[in-house]
Amino acid sequence: MYQYDEYDQKLVDERVAQFRDQTRRYLAGELPDDEYRMLRLRNGLYVQRFAPMLRVAIPYGLLASKQVRMLGHIARTYDKGYGHLTTRQNIQFNWPTLESVPDILADLATVQMHAIQTSGNCIRNFTSDHLAGVAADELVDPRPYCEIARQWATLHPEFNWLPRKFKIAISSSTTDRAATRVHDIGVHIVRNEAGELGYTMYVGGGLGRTPIIGVKLRDFLPEADLLSYCEAVLRVYNRLGRRDNIYKARIKILVKETGPAKFAELVEAEWAQIKDSYLKLTQADLDRVKRHFSQPTYDATAANDTTYAARIAANPAFAAWTRRNLKAHRVPGYSAVFASLKAKGVAPGDIDAAQLDAVADLADRYSFGEVRVTHTQNLVFADVQQKDLYPLWQALAGIGLATPNIGLLTDVICCPGLDFCSLSNASSIAVAEEIFERFESLDDQHDIGEMKLNMSGCMNGCGHHSVGHIGILGVDKKGEEWYQITLGGSSSNDASLGDRTGPSVSRADIADAVQNLIETYLAERHSEDESFLACYRRVGMAPFKTRLYASVEAEA
């Protein structure tokens, strides 16, 4: 866990003071509405459908237990008792008053947290692999690189007023768990043939109304040059990105309109000017930050435990949970444990204050006092000993966080939708609940297997619908909620955008439509080993489309 030093702490404290004064001036009528809006967004504060919403940064998804407790305190003190984990590893509070936000930010600062640049047209929170540091397929721990980049981006004097928001994700594993190809910059940490560390750089990916998979800008960038290269990309973007049309202002449009080859030339030319500047990382800088992420002290005897096998044999519910919600750990006798925030009757990603407190206690007891947020809106206890899996499961079950559905159909990625968001066209949470109820049992019956069902209430795409194996997009048609469906999207290494099935379906039919698609898959698949995505890629749209529209009402 990165620990702030005096400089980091001073910056967040000064940021709180700055925002407190901006809010005071706004309330006193001294700061124009439109300007306060842009300033508050850069502090995570939206004004939503019913109330303000505050998005708190969780850099690369990593939380210490005392920070989790603080989030519980904020939920309890300033909100209606819960928060919502987002698809960019942050947390949102949906009910604070505007006047209380400076106090919330001051509380956050006491545990080394903030809401800086969690919205607005600036460099946003860096996201990464939720299994960083423990995954077996990892080259190096990406978190020190994320932290170095976070500091570079924080209050960057040149890039705080960009054409549009700018999101960067860093991954360092064979399997991309950070959806890097749908980010403005996607960084893959790699080793070249000479054995040197560096990065493959992707640029221009993004979801929203023009979803695009990022293009590779550079095969290998030396390890020391991460910041100078990002600065070069940002400088080209700040200069040339469109500002005449908000829908064409993301860097993906600039890359597309310029052409990837020409864009790469512009970046390389700028980079050549600054690559040997102060932005070059030194080994000492890297080592200093890496020391903050030192490995926990693992118990070498953890794998000797015999209770785990006995518990699995004796308890089918526990066994089912271990099959779905555990991921392999590089250290024998340890697992990474997913706490599912996709339970019946709960909006995907929502967590209440009591759960946050309990999660903090469990992190202290079983996982070195840390927990991670995933971009799929779940939590991970990354370092749990085998012998502790059973008591942890029991404790999680007791607080409703042990649904054995990680990676399955009911592990829906979902935006807040019409229930909270002022941009949204349609409900997403209610649809997610209906799908949950429908498939809770069907899942068991048919073993549908690996499935990403992603849902957004509008084309801004916060629910990542474009890269869902099944994607659902809420649209408004004459005041009614309708849903467009896409098939075959992926945000992993084989990143692809989903194909539209055809006309959208009504609110009343959306759950039936999903069921039709699942049944088509079950009928078409070679075997249980062929996933929905693989099956779709093999057989194509036709059988899905035929079945989908045979029984549901559709409107073009």
Partner 1 sequence: MSTTLLRNLKVEADDYTLLADDAALPAAGKVIVSHARWHAERDALLASNLVVGIKIPNTVDIATVLPEIAERPLIALDFPAFPDGRAYSQARLLAERFAYKGELRATGKAVVRDQIGFMVRCGFTSFELRDGQDPAACLAAVHEFSVPYQQAADHVQPVFLRRRA
Query: Site residues (CB under 8 A) for partner 1?
Result: 5, 7-8, 10-11, 14-15, 17-18, 22, 31, 34-35, 38-39, 121, 151-152, 154-162, 235, 238-239, 243, 273, 278, 282, 284-285, 288
Q: Closest by alpha carbon to 436, among 502, 348, 520, 374?
A: 348
**CB 275 → partner 1: shortest distance, Å?**
13
**CB 256 → partner 1: shortest distance, Å?**
20
Q: Give 77 or 238: the residue with its C-beta nearer to partner 1.
A: 238
Q: Closest by alpha carbon to 389, among 313, 316, 331, 333?
A: 333
**CB 206 → partner 1: shortest distance, Å?**
20
DSSP 164-180: S-B-EEEE-BSS--S-G
**Cα–Cα dist 217/205, whole Å:** 11
**CB 49 → partner 1: shortest distance, Å?**
24
Beta bridge mates, 189:
199
Q: Give 230 or 384: the residue with its C-beta nearer to partner 1.
A: 230
Q: Give 7 or 297: the residue with its C-beta nearer to partner 1.
A: 7
106 with 92: CB under 8 angstroms?
Answer: no
**CB 126 → partner 1: shortest distance, Å?**
14
Residue 170 tokens read as 């860093």
**CB 120 → partner 1: shortest distance, Å?**
9
**CB 287 → partner 1: shortest distance, Å?**
11
Distances (CA, A) of 156 to 124, 184, 227, 297: 11, 17, 12, 36
Quickly tell me which residue has 């693989």 as its tokens: 534
**CB 340 → partner 1: shortest distance, Å?**
37
Q: Give 266 or 487: the residue with its C-beta nearer to partner 1.
A: 266
**CB 21 → partner 1: shortest distance, Å?**
9
1 with 364: CB under 8 angstroms?
Answer: no
For the chain, give the longest Cα–Cα distance: 68
Backbone angles phi, psi at 352, to 5 degrees: -95, 175
Q: Give 153 or 432: the residue with its C-beta nearer to partner 1.
A: 153
Q: Give 275 or 387: the residue with its C-beta nearer to partner 1.
A: 275
Q: Give 72 or 241: the residue with its C-beta nearer to partner 1.
A: 241
Q: Closest by alpha carbon to 106, among 24, 20, 37?
A: 20
**CB 238 → partner 1: shortest distance, Å?**
5
Report the DSSP pairing between strands 334-339 and 379-385: antiparallel
**Cα–Cα dist 57/117, whole Å:** 8
Q: Give 9 or 100: the residue with its C-beta nearer to partner 1.
A: 9
DSSP 458-506: STT-TT-GGGSSEEEEEEEETTEEEEEEEES-B-STT-BPPEE-SSEEE
**CB 463 → partner 1: shortest distance, Å?**
27
338 membership: H or E segment, kind and range:
strand 334-339
**CB 190 → partner 1: shortest distance, Å?**
24
The angle formed by the CA atoms of residues 117, 120 and 122, to the nearest 5 degrees, is 65
Residue 223 tokens read as 């390890």
Q: How would you label 29-46 residue by residue, b for 16+ Cβ within 10 Å and e otherwise? A: eebeeeebeebbbbbbbb
Q: Give 5 or 529: the residue with its C-beta nearer to partner 1.
A: 5
337 with 56: CB under 8 angstroms?
Answer: no
**CB 250 → partner 1: shortest distance, Å?**
15
Q: Give 288 or 344: the residue with its C-beta nearer to partner 1.
A: 288
Tally of CB atoms within 10 A around 14: 12
Contacting residues for 486 by C-beta, under 8 A, at least 6 apart: 465, 466, 468, 470, 471, 472, 473, 497, 498, 499, 500, 501
Coil vs helix vs strand at 396: helix
Helices (H) and strands (E) in the chain, counts: 17, 22
Q: Give 18 or 315: the residue with its C-beta nearer to partner 1.
A: 18
Q: Give 6 or 193: the residue with its C-beta nearer to partner 1.
A: 6
End-to-end C-alpha distance for the chain, whole angstroms: 50
Q: Closest by alpha carbon to 435, among 470, 487, 400?
A: 470
The angle formed by the CA atoms of residues 24, 25 and 30, to the nearest 5 degrees, is 155
Q: Give 162 or 402: the residue with its C-beta nearer to partner 1.
A: 162
**CB 425 → partner 1: shortest distance, Å?**
26
Q: Give 233 or 401: the residue with its C-beta nearer to partner 1.
A: 233
